[in-house]
Amino acid sequence: MCLFRPMRALIYLLVLIPLNLSANNLKQIVFIGDSLTEGYGIPQEKSFPSIISSKFKNKKIKVKITNAGSSGSTSASAPGRVKWILKSNPNIVFIALGGNDGLRGINLQATENNLQQAITLALNRKIKVILAGVRIPTNYGPKYRKQFENIYISLAKKNNVTFIPYILKGVAGIKSLNLPDQIHPNEKGHQVIADNIFPIIEKLL
Amino acid sequence: MKLLKYFIFQLLNNKSFTILFILNLSFGLSSFVTLDIFKHSINKSIKKRSKVFLGADLGVSARRAITKEESNLISEASTEIHSSTKLIEVFSMVVGPNEQSKLVQIKAVDNNFPFYGQIEIKDKNNSISNGQIKTLNNKKIAWLYPELIAQLNVRIGENIKVGNTSFTVQAIITNDNAEGVSTSMAPRLYIGYDHIQDTGLLQFGSVVWYSQLYHLPRLNDLELNNLKISLKKQIPSTDLKFYTHESVSEQSSRLLKYLNDFLGLVAIAALFLAAIGGAFLFRSYLNKQIHIFGIFLSLGMTLKSIMLYQAVQLLILGLIGSSISILFGYLLIPILNSITADLIPFTIIKQLEPNTIILILLLGCAGALLIGLPLITQLIGLKPNLLFSSKTQNNLNRNKWFWLSLIPGFLFLWSLSIWQSHSFKTGTLFTILFLASGLLLSILAALFMYFISKIKIKKYLGLQWAIRDISRFKITSISIFLSIGLGMLLLNLIPQIKASINYELTMPHDSKLPSFFIFDIQEEQLSTLKKISSHFDITLQQTSPMVRARLKTINYQNYSELQITESVSTREQERQQRSRNRGYNLSYRLGLGTGESLHKGKLINSSFDENSGKLPEISVEKRFAARLGIKINDVLEFDIQGVSIKGKIVNIRKVKWTTFQPNFFIQFQPGVLEIAPKTYLSSVPKISNTMKNELQNKIVKAIPNASIIDVSRLVKKLKDIIEQMGLALQFMTIICLIAGFLVLFSIANYQARQRSSDIAILKVLGSSFTTIRSYFLWMFTLLSILSGLFGISICFIFSYIISKLLFDSKWVFDIYTPALSLIGLLIISILITFIAINQFLNTKASSLLDNE
Amino acid sequence: MTIQTNNLTKVFTQGSKKIYAVNNINLSISKGESIAITGKSGSGKTTLLSLLAGLDSCTSGEINILHKNITHMNEKDLAKFRANNIGIIFQKFHLLPHLTALENVTLPLEISNSSNVLNKAKEALDLVGLSDRLGHLPRQLSGGENQRVAIARAIVNKPPILFADEPSGNLDQETGEQVMDLIFQLTQSINMSLVLVTHDQPLAMKCQRQVTISNGLID
C-alpha cells in the first residue's frame, strides 16, 4: 500500500495543476528561493516577485509569476524543487538559494553541487535560468565570504546563465531597508530588489 | 467587658471544644503557612534560576549598537539600577590551528557579566573553577564549549582565529549557567568585550546582537515588568527589544504559573477544610451552651451582649489558633532548612514574610468570626424561659439573619480564593464549584435519608437502630454528611488535580528525550542518515516530512482579509501580525504521534482516496487552531510553491510539550503531499557526549546541508525544573492530606462525644455493650462511608472541570488516593467511634441520676 | 427476698478526705413491697439507689437481687441483668429525644430480644393512658406525658423491681401526683417491688415502708 500512496498523490496533484496553471500559452516565471523570496516578515504582495508581477501588469505584459520561496530552505532542496515546478512548464526559473547554507557554515562544495544540479535540470528542459548571487554578512569572516561569493560567479560562468551578482545590492546593511533583524529586507528593501532585477528579467523574457 | 471572664471560663469549661477548635484552626492555618513558605521558596528559586538564565534582571538587545542616548534614558528610568553590563553576540566562522573552520557563536562580555550565576571552566591542568571575566578582558584569550575542541582540532594553549585576530584558548567551559536568550545553532565561545572590535567582525554588513543587561535586585517581577513596559514607551525604536529575566525563560514561567495556580488551590482547599471543621465544632458547642445562655439571660444579660461575647470568644480562639500556626511556621523553617537540603529541591526561605504573619492573623480572626457568625445569629429569639422547659435538647433556629450572615463568609471565601489563585476565574470557579458541591451533597444526603428510612431490618438490633436514627437526626446527619463529604472532596481534589498536572509534566524516559534535532534533510539523504544512525546503534525519533506552504484561504475566504484572533498588545505587533506572510510547515501522518492526544474530532485513519470526492483531511494543533480561530470542518487552502491544495479539518490535536519532540501545527492526511518538495526533520535520542560529537561530525560530513540543533542543554534544564516541581507538588499534597484527616478526626471525635448521654440511657435500659457499639459503629460508618463516596464522586467532576478549565490538561483518573482516603476514613471513623464509645461505656450509668 | 444488702458501703475520696456516701447499709426488700428512701440533699439516697439498681459499684459489702449476687458482676452481665429484671424511672425522664413514644417504649423489649414487641409496647402505653400519643416525639409531649412514657418504658418488660428517682420532681404538683398514683397502681397490679427515692414526705408516706438516710446511714 505504501508504495502506491505517492502515486495516488501524484495523480491527485496532476489533476490539480492544470486548474492552477491553466493557460499553457501564458509565459511563466517561477522564483525558487528562501525566506528572502518568500517575503519573510512582510505581506506577500510586497515581496519582490509580487512587485515584479505588478510591474509586468503595468506594462500590460501577461506573465504568470509563481513565488516558490520557502523560508529556511537551503540549496539542498533546489534539485527537488526544480523537478516539482518543471511539471508546470515555466519559461524562466529564477534561483536565489544558498543564503541559509552560508549562514549555517555549510560545506561550500555541497552548496555548489546542489545549485549545479538544479541548473542542469532546468537547462536540460530548455528552460531559461536566472541565477541570483547571495552573500553572507561581514561577521562571518573575510575568507569564508570570498569563497562563498565565488560559488555563484563560477556557476554562472560554467553554465552560461543570466547572472545577478548580488541580489541584495544596495539593500544589505542599510538600516532603513531592512527589518529590525538586519537580515531580511523590509517592504522598501523588496522594492529596491525588484527595481534592480526587473530589467534583467524583462530582457530575458 | 467585665463579664468577659465568664465567657473565658465557659471556654475553659468546654476544654474539648476549645482545644479541638484551636487545633483545627491552627492546622488549617499551619498548612497555609507551610504552603506559603513553599510558595515563596519555590518562587524565589525559580526566579533565581531564570535570572541566572539571563544573568541579569532586565535586558535590552538590538541588531545594532545601542546609542548613548538610549543607554542614558534606560539608566535614568529607574533609580534601582545597581549596575549594567554590555555584551555582543555574533556568529562567525572561526579557524583552528590546522585551518579547520567551524561556525561559532561568539559572545563578548565585559567584566560585570553575569550578575547571577557563573561560567564554570576547566583549564589545562584539568582544574575546575569559576571563570573570571576579567582575565578575558585583560588578554586575548577565549573559552570554548567542549565540542569545539574536536571540531576546530585545537588544544588548550593553542591559538584560534576569530575574524582577523588570534585568540589563545585558555579553558574549556564545563558549565554555562547563563545560557542566555538565543537557542544557538552553533557552539559558543567567550571572549572579552574589549577585544571584539579587534576582530574586524563588527563592520558594515555584519549581523550582530548588541545587548545591555541590568542588575535591579530590589525590584519584584511586577515592577520589573512595569519598567520594561515604560521603557518600551519611552524608547519607541522598533528595533530595540526589551525583556526581563521572566520573559527569557518562557517555558519555566509557564511552569511557574502552573505551580502557582496549583499552590493557590491547595491553600484554599486547606482553609475550606478548616472552615468546615470549625463550623461543625462551633455548631455543636453552641447547641450545648444554650442552657448557659438561658441562665445569663435570666440574670439580666442582653442577648446582644451574649452574641457579642460569643464573637469575642471566637476572636480569642482565632487569635490563639493563628498564633500557634505562626509559631509553627517559625519552628518549621529551621527544621526544613536543616533536614531537607537533599529532599526538597529548592532553598527554603530564611524567615516568614511579614505579609504572611499579618495574613495568618487576619485569616485566623476573621475566619473564625465568619465561620461562627451564621451560627451565632441562630441565637436570635432565644428566651430565658428555655430554662423552665423540660426539653432535654434545644435546637438552634434558622432565621433570615442566618441566611444573611452567610453572605460575608461567602464573600470572604470568594475573595480569598481569587486572591490566592491569582485569578478571578480560578477563584470564582473554585468557590462556585465548592458551593455547588455542598448543595449536591445536601440533596444526596436528603435522598439517602429518605431511602434509608424505608429500609426495615429486623435481625441486627444495632444496624436497625443505626438506620432508623440516621434519618431521625436529620440536621446532625446532614451536617456530618456535608462535613465529611466536603472534607473528602477537598482531600481528594488536590491529589486528583495533581495527577492531571503530573501527567502533563511527566516526561518520557531519559533515553527518549532528544539530544539534538536535525533539520533540512533531503528525501534522498534520508537513507544516508539512517545508515549513519544505525552504525551508531541509534534509532531516530519522529522522522517527519516537512512541506513549506502558504495559507491562502480559510473557508474559501482570503486569509489576509480575515480577522485574526491572536492577542496583539501593541500597534507594532498588530502591524507585524497583519503582514505575516502565512508561511507554515506542513507534515503528514496517520493517527497520533508520541505526546499527542485527540482533543476533538476523529483521527485520520486512512490515506487519502482521490475517488472519494472528499477533501483531504487535516489535523491541527489546539493552540494553533485557537490562534487562527479555526475549527473542525473548516476548509483550509494552501499554496505549495505554486500548487494549490485544499483540505478539511477533521480533528484538533493536543501536543504535550514535555516530550520535547518537534511537532507540526498542521498535519495532512497521507496521500496528498508525498510528491511535493519537502525536507525531513528528525531527532536523535539522548546519547553520550563523545558519541554525540562523533555522530554530529559524521552527519555534517555526509549531509552538509543538514542543520543540527543541540537541545540537550535546554532539555536538561527544563527537565530539572519539572522534576523539582513534581517533588514540590508531592510534598504539598501530603500536607493537605494530613490537614484533611485531622478535620475528619475532630468531626468524628466530637460527634461521638455528643452522643454520650444516649449511650448512658441505652446502658441503663440494659443494652449489651456489643449492641451499643454496633449501633454507633453502623451509624457512623454508614454515614461517613456514604458521604465519603459521594464526596469522592463529586470530586471527580470537580477535578475534571478544574483540570479542563484551569489547567487545560488531560484529566487523569487517579484511583489510588480516593481508595486510600476511603480506607483511611473507614479506619478513622471505626477507630474514633470505637474509642469514644468505649470511653462512655466504661463511665458509670449512674451519671443519669444527677441532681443538677 | 427480692433485694438484700450486706454492709453496703460506697466511699468517695475528695482530696485526702474520705466521704462515706453510703455507710454500712443493711436493707432487705421483699417481693411486691414498696419502699421509700428519703433524706436531705446529699444524704446519699441517690447513691444508694444507683448501687441497688446496679448502675454503680460499691466499695465494700454486697447486694443480692433476686437471689443473685450482683456485687461483682461486670458491666456486661449487669446490663443483661438490668434488661430483664429492673425498670428505672428518672427525674429527668431520659427519653431518647429522636424516638417516638412508642419507639422509646419498644427499646427495652428490643434489647431483651422479646417477641411481639409492638403489641407489648402499645399495651404498656395504654396502661399509662397514652394510647393516642404513640407517634409523638418527646418534645411534642408535656412533662407529665414524657414521664408517663418513661414509666411505660420501665414496666414494659414486667421487671420484678422498679426503681424511681424523684419521678415527680420535674412536674407540677397535680401532674406529679397523677404520675405517682399511676406508679403505685401499676406496681401493685403486677406485684412489682418499688424503690422510690424522694425527699417529699407525703409521697414517701404512700409507700409501705420508709427508710430515711442521713450522712450515708439509715436513721
Question: Which residues, listed in sequence order, are joined to residue C10 by a DSSP beta bridge?
Answer: C22
User: Which among B32, B81, B30 has a CA at the least distance from the CA of B60?
Assistant: B81
Contact C111 B771 (CB under 8 A): yes
**pLDDT score for B315:** 92
Contact B674 A6 (CB under 8 A): yes
Residues of B in contact with C198 (CB under 8 A): none
Task: Report chain C residues touching chain B, CB-CB < 8 A.
Answer: 41, 46-47, 49-50, 55-57, 75-76, 79-84, 86, 88, 90-99, 103, 107-108, 110-113, 138-139, 142-143, 146, 153, 165-166, 170
CA–CA dist A32, B681 (Å, integer): 21
**pLDDT score for B561:** 53
- Claim to verify: residue B224 and residue B291 sit in the same structural domain: no
Contact A75 B705 (CB under 8 A): yes
The set of chains that have 3 or more CB pairs under 8 A with B is A, C
B501-520 residues touching A, CB cutoff 8 A? 519-520
Parallel, antiparallel, or unpaired for β C193-197 and C34-38?
parallel
How does residue B310 score in pLDDT terms, banded at 50, 70 and 90? Answer: confident
Does chain A touch chain B (at least 3 C-beta pairs within 8 Å)?
Answer: yes
CB atoms within 10 A of CB B693: 17
Residue B183 DSSP symbol? P
pLDDT one-digit tens code per residue, B729-783: 666 667 666 777 777 677 767 666 677 778 888 888 888 888 888 888 888 888 8
CB atoms within 10 A of CB C131: 14
Contact A88 B203 (CB under 8 A): no
Residues of B in contact with A21 (CB under 8 A): 642
pLDDT at A12 over 50: no
Interchain CB contacts (distance < 8 Å): A and B:
186
Question: Of B123-127, B436-440, C74-78, which gets the smallest average pLDDT?
Answer: C74-78
The reply to whether B434 falls in a domain is no
**pLDDT score for B563:** 46
- Claim to verify: residue B393 and residue B266 sit in the same structural domain: yes
Residues of B in contact with A76 (CB under 8 A): 520, 522, 525, 679, 703-705
CA–CA dist B727, B3 (Å, integer): 52
Polymer length in residues for chain C: 219
Contact B676 A13 (CB under 8 A): yes
pLDDT one-digit tens code per residue, B177-192: 766 544 556 788 999 9
Question: Of A143-152, B624-633, C189-198, which gets the smallest average pLDDT?
Answer: B624-633
Contact C138 B392 (CB under 8 A): yes
pLDDT one-digit tens code per residue, B316-331: 999 999 999 999 888 8
**pLDDT score for B690:** 78
Q: Which of B218, B252, B286 is the last residue of a domain?
A: B252
CB atoms within 10 A of CB A1: 8
Contact A80 B525 (CB under 8 A): no
The reply to whether B826 falls in a domain is yes
- Claim to verify: residue B629 and residue B489 sit in the same structural domain: no
The reply to whether B705 falls in a domain is no
Partner C contacted by B390 (CB < 8 A):
yes
| B642 → chain A, closest CA residue | A66
- What's the 3-state SS for A50-75? HHHHHHHHHCCCCEEEEEEECCCCCH
pLDDT at B543 over 50: yes
Q: What are phi and psi of C131, to 5 degrees?
A: -65, -15
Radius of gyration of chain C (CA): 17
**pLDDT score for A5:** 43
CA–CA dist B138, C209 (Å, integer): 120
Contact B67, B51 (CB under 8 A): no
Contact B671 A5 (CB under 8 A): yes
Q: Report chain B's mean pLDDT, rounded to a whole number.
A: 80
Question: Of B448-452, B655-659, B793-797, which gets the smallest average pLDDT?
Answer: B655-659
In chain A, where do the E strands start and end? 27-33, 63-69, 92-96, 128-132, 162-164
Give me the mean pLDDT over the A175-197 stretch. 90
CB atoms within 10 A of CB A154: 12
Find the CB nearest C96 among B761, B763, B844: B761
**pLDDT score for A10:** 43
Question: Of B522-536, B694-708, B815-829, which gets the smallest average pLDDT?
Answer: B694-708
Find the CB nearest A180 among B63, B208, B582: B63
Give me the mean pLDDT over the B443-468 stretch. 83
pLDDT one-digit tens code per residue, A24-75: 567 899 999 998 998 888 887 889 999 999 999 999 888 999 888 888 888 8
Contact C56 B473 (CB under 8 A): no
The reply to whether B523 falls in a domain is no
CA–CA dist C129, C145 (Å, integer): 9
Cell of C124: 404498656
Contact B390 C80 (CB under 8 A): no
- Claim to verify: residue B42 and residue B89 sit in the same structural domain: no
Residues of B in contact with C138 (CB under 8 A): 391-392
Partner C contacted by B762 (CB < 8 A):
yes
| B560 → chain A, closest CA residue | A43
**pLDDT score for A70:** 83
Shortest alpha-carbon distance between residue B401 and chain C (Å):
25
Of B559 and A43, more confident: A43
| C165 → chain B, closest CA residue | B849
Shortest alpha-carbon distance between residue C80 and chain B (Å):
5
Domain that includes residue B650, residue range: 539-686
Contact B705, A74 (CB under 8 A): yes
- Claim to verify: residue B81 and residue B118 sit in the same structural domain: yes
Shortest alpha-carbon distance between residue A203 and chain B (Å):
24
Residue ranges in chain C whose pLDDT is less than 50: none
- By percentage, how much of chain B surpasses pLDDT 90? 10
Find the CB nearest B393 among C82, C97, C108: C97
| C57 → chain B, closest CA residue | B844
**pLDDT score for B184:** 58
Does chain C touch chain A (at least 3 C-beta pairs within 8 Å)?
Answer: no
**Helices and strands per DSSP (H, E), number in chain A:** 8, 5
- Claim to verify: residue B357 and residue B505 sit in the same structural domain: no
Q: DSSP characters for B328-373?
A: HHHHHHHHHHHH-TTTSSSPPPSS--HHHHHHHHHHHHHHHHHHHH
Question: Of A81-85, A103-107, A145-149, B581-585, which gets the smallest average pLDDT?
Answer: B581-585
pLDDT one-digit tens code per residue, C115-163: 888 899 999 999 888 889 899 988 889 888 998 899 999 889 889 999 9
- Claim to verify: residue B227 and residue B80 sit in the same structural domain: yes
Contact B767 C83 (CB under 8 A): yes
- Cis geometry, peptide bond prior to residue B114 (ω within 30 degrees of 0): yes
CA–CA dist B467, B477 (Å, integer): 11
Helix (H, G, I), strand (E, B) or coil at B323: helix
For an interface test with A, the pick among B579, B606, B638, B646 (most A C-beta atoms closer than 10 Å) comes out as B579
Question: Of A175-179, A195-199, B151-155, B183-187, which gets the smallest average pLDDT?
Answer: B183-187
Q: Which of B422, B448, B475 is the last residue of a domain?
A: B422
Contact B643 A114 (CB under 8 A): no
- Claim to verify: residue B403 and residue B451 sit in the same structural domain: no
Q: Which of B212, B233, B252 is the last residue of a domain?
A: B252
Cell of B588: 503528514
Residues of B in contact with C96 (CB under 8 A): 758, 761
Give the CB-side neighbour count of residue C34, counting CA atoms within 13 A.
22
- Claim to verify: residue B492 and residue B471 sit in the same structural domain: yes
pLDDT one-digit tens code per residue, A111-128: 999 999 999 999 999 999
Cell of A17: 495543476
For an interface test with A, the pick among B643, B701, B707, B709 (most A C-beta atoms closer than 10 Å) comes out as B643
Find the CB nearest A139 among B206, B238, B576: B206
Q: Report chain A's mean pLDDT, rounded to a whole number.
A: 84
User: Which among B701, B726, B363 has a CA at the least distance from the CA of B532?
Assistant: B701
Contact B849 C107 (CB under 8 A): no
**pLDDT score for C149:** 92
Contact B491, B740 (CB under 8 A): yes
**pLDDT score for B486:** 82
Shortest alpha-carbon distance between residue C46 and chain B (Å):
7
**pLDDT score for B391:** 47
How does residue B553 score in pLDDT terms, banded at 50, 70 and 90? Answer: confident
Contact B763 C79 (CB under 8 A): yes
Give me the mean pLDDT over the B343-360 stretch. 75
Which ranges of B755-815 would DSSP assign to H, the alpha helix? 756-764, 769-805
Contact B607 A5 (CB under 8 A): yes
**pLDDT score for C202:** 85
**Cα separation values, A9 from A92, B128, B526, B665, Å:** 26, 58, 20, 21
Domain count, chain B: 4
Shortest alpha-carbon distance between residue B662 and chain A (Å):
16
Question: Of A9-18, B68-77, B837-846, which gets the smallest average pLDDT?
Answer: A9-18
How does residue B850 score in pLDDT terms, banded at 50, 70 and 90? Answer: low
How does residue B569 score in pLDDT terms, banded at 50, 70 and 90? Answer: very low
Question: Of B407-411, B495-499, B509-513, which gets the smallest average pLDDT?
Answer: B509-513
Q: Is the dihedral of CA A15, A19, A21, A23 positive or negative?
A: positive
User: Which among B702, B535, B724, B548 has a CA at the least distance from the CA of B638?
Assistant: B548
The reply to whether B306 falls in a domain is yes
Contact A20 B608 (CB under 8 A): no
**pLDDT score for A164:** 93
Shortest alpha-carbon distance between residue B7 and chain C (Å):
27
Contact B185, B179 (CB under 8 A): no
Q: DSSP characters for chain C?
A: --EEEEEEEEEEEETTEEEEEEEEEEEEE-TT-EEEEE--TTSSHHHHHHHHTTSS--SEEEEEETTEE-TT--HHHHHHHHHHHEEEE-TT----TTS-HHHHHHHHHHHTT-SSHHHHHHHHHHHTT-TT-TT--GGGS-HHHHHHHHHHHHHTT--SEEEEESTTTTS-HHHHHHHHHHHHHHHHHHT-EEEEE-S-HHHHHTSSEEEEEETTEE-
Of B566 and A28, more confident: A28
pLDDT at B4 over 90: no
Contact A76 B525 (CB under 8 A): yes
For an interface test with A, the pick among B518, B548, B639 (most A C-beta atoms closer than 10 Å) comes out as B548
For an interface test with A, the pick among B67, B91, B93, B162 (most A C-beta atoms closer than 10 Å) comes out as B93
**pLDDT score for A23:** 45
pLDDT at B849 over 80: no
Residues of C in contact with B469 (CB under 8 A): 98
| B676 → chain A, closest CA residue | A84
Of B7 and A6, more confident: B7
Residue B136 DSSP symbol? H
CA–CA dist B775, B462 (Å, integer): 4
Question: Which residues, listed in sequence order, are joined to residue C3 by a DSSP beta bridge?
Answer: C29, C65
The CATH architecture assigned to A25-204 reads: 3-Layer(aba) Sandwich (3.40)
